[in-house]
Amino acid sequence: MAPTPVSYPKPYEAVVLDIEGTTTPITFVHQVLFPYILEHAQFFLETHWDDSTCQNYLAGLAKQNTEDIQQGLTDIPTIVNLTDPAIPKAKKIKTVVANIRYQMQQDRKIKALKDFQGYMWKDGYYSGDLKATVYEDVIDALRTWHERGVPVYIYSSGSVPAQKLLFGYSDHGDLTHYLHGYYDTSVGSKLAPESYQVIAGNIGREPANVLFVSDNPKEIQAAEATGMQVVISLRPGNALIADDVLQRYLTITSFASLL
């Protein structure tokens, strides 16, 4: 069944955007960003191990690993004691890489993993190995909203630093001047209405005056529960959405429909 015909949302004062499947193709995330971590983690850790910044992110992964085991996740690879000088660095790296691979295979949305991924992606963007893909119609919309004085914010499960890198090193150049703020899961789960309430309060808008765009129906439902205006993004490669959901919500295939 085809999605409902697009109709314009009510007037809105601010826009909150998801990234994956909304502003950026899912293929970029799953075929470029994630493989970059899996392919380069071993070498990256070998060359950055002694950096204090790297050690801070590793401490976060180790802390999360301890909590996971305490909560009964017995199948998760254990990270050895990273501060024990008696354990060879090679073994420490091996256990960290195994843990990262497992978590990514499970598609976990936890802060420690997302923070480390962002740290690695920073190196990739700076070196030129990574360049983010952003839809052409998104660029036009960002420019138009900017000209109209409508602030645009990002809310993604990826860390805020990773979000800034994606829009700072896009295939259309630096887009960060079009964005007024960034939110990740430190404000709460993207599936929890409370998270959207927090964002609305933070940007100083009533939820009814905020437009949220995402490809994920569960996120759409959570935002709608707060009173936000919501639109589902339909992009090539996105997960199929049930017909009853398509009939219930406004859907777009281009941001041009929102302007």
The per-residue b/e assignment along 46-71, b for 16 or more CB within 10 angstroms, e otherwise, is eebeeeeebeebbebbbebbeebeee
In terms of Cα–Cα distance, which of 227, 226, 229 is closest to 250? 229
135 touches 235 (CB < 8 A): yes
Q: Is 18 annotated as a binding residue?
A: yes
3-state helix, strand and coil shares in percent for the chain, rounded to the nearest 5: 55, 10, 35
Annotated ligand binding at 156? The verdict is yes
* Residue 157 assigned ligand-binding role: yes
Strand order across the beta sheet in which 229-233 lies: 181-183, 152-155, 14-17, 210-214, 229-233, 250-252
Structural contact between residues 5 and 257, judged by C-beta atoms closer than 8 angstroms: no
Cβ–Cβ under 8 Å, residues 190 and 216: yes
Compute the distance between CA of residue 156 and CA of residue 162 in angstroms, rounded to an integer.
10
Burial bucket for residue 251 (CB in 10 Å: 0-12, 13-18, 19+): buried
**Binding site for substrate: what residues are annotated?**
156-157, 190
Binding site per annotation, positions for Mg(2+) = 18, 20, 215
Annotated binding site: 18, 20, 156-157, 190, 215
